Amino acid sequence: MPLRKIATGFGLALSLVSRAALADLPKCPRHGPLRTIVAPSEHDPTLARRTLDQVFSELAERTRACPASEQRPIELEVEWRPSQHVLVRVTMETRVREISLERDVDLARVPADGVPLAVAIVADEMLAEIYDRVAADETARAPKVHAEPVRASLPPAPRPPERALRFGLSGAFQQLTSGLSLSGLDVDATWLATPHFQVGLRAGLRAVAWVGAPSYEGEGWAAGAFALASTSALSARGVAAMTALDVLALGATARVSPAAGVYAWQRLGERFVLHAEARLGGVLSTASEFSALSGACVTLALGIATEW
């Protein structure tokens, strides 16, 4: 009899200790593996890699909590945005539905070396929240798989859509050393051949005036082709090297004018682009020829375009 009581008490004590130990274990997630994608950072090429490593390190223990539990794929994306903001998105598909969370994080007050950890903490909080949200949707058990996180490689830099086109309208002013001034509106079309190279065509009418002769009035036209080279035509703002081959016409006379300069842009929303350019060139003519269309030519332009 005493032995039976001792055995019963020992078994009860062992049960209580086991339950206490289980309570200290991390909550067993029934989701995973985790696929992490960190977009490249335009301003800091190494920031994406450091953030990917930090996120993977912070979330590995959570997704490994129950290696034999039933899992669902989870995708976590980190996208850098202007003004020191970052968008963190967590998406998971359950048997019932797809659940996605997004959070816009302001990193303006976070030191540069603390950005990867700040993003990892936000991702960990969102992952915990999405676990709680889908708990009620789990109505059936999935096949058992190991919960090893899937370490994703950095995705390639974004590319423009195939055959992306930009159409625009700009005001242009051209001053020749001969004293001739040309001003007017141009319509242009640009093809984004690659993220670093664009080519385009433009044409427009010109009002003509002579420096020192305000009473002179005339008409002409201008047309030409141009090419732009930049680090990334898809960034919010930037500067590109520009080459152009223009044809300037005054009456029945037309001359070719090659030029080079700079082209700057600022995106306005998703589809519109404000751009300005300045270039220096010269009008091709014979050495003995001096006319209105001769000498060096300075061109300034300001316009707006929309992308399709």
Strand partners, 74: 34, 92
* pTM: predicted TM-score of the whole model, two decimal places: 0.48
Q: In the sheet where 34-38 sits, what is the strand order?
A: 34-38, 74-81, 85-93, 98-106
Query: Of the residues 138, 156, 174, which one is the last residue of a structural domain?
Result: 156
What pLDDT is stored for residue 205 in this prediction? 93
Across the range 258-263, mean pLDDT stands at 96
* Residue bearing the bigger pLDDT, 81 or 65: 81
Instruction: List, in sequence order, every residue forming a beta bridge with 222; answer none if it has no partner.
Output: 204, 248
- The total number of structural domains that make up the chain: 2
Does residue 73 share a domain with residue 125? yes
Computed on alpha carbons and rounded to an integer, the radius of gyration of the chain in Å comes to: 32
Note the pLDDT of residue 68.
Answer: 38
The answer to whether position 1 is within a domain reads no
pLDDT at 304: 94
Torsion-angle region of 32 (φ positive above 0: left; ψ -120 to 50: alpha; else: beta): left
Nearest in space to 96 (alpha carbons), one of 33, 129, 140, 127: 140
Last residue of a domain, which of 105, 139, 156? Answer: 156
Cα(258)–Cα(197) distance, rounded to whole angstroms? 19
Share of the chain above pLDDT 70, in %: 69
**Residue-wise pLDDT tens digits, 100-146:** 888 888 888 888 888 888 888 888 888 788 777 766 666 445 455 55
Domain at 98, CATH number:
3.30.160
On whether residue 25 sits in a domain, the answer given is no
For the stretch 179-233, pLDDT in tens is: 888 899 999 999 988 888 999 999 999 988 887 665 556 788 999 999 999 988 8
What gap in Å lies between CA 46 and CA 139, rounded to an integer? 43
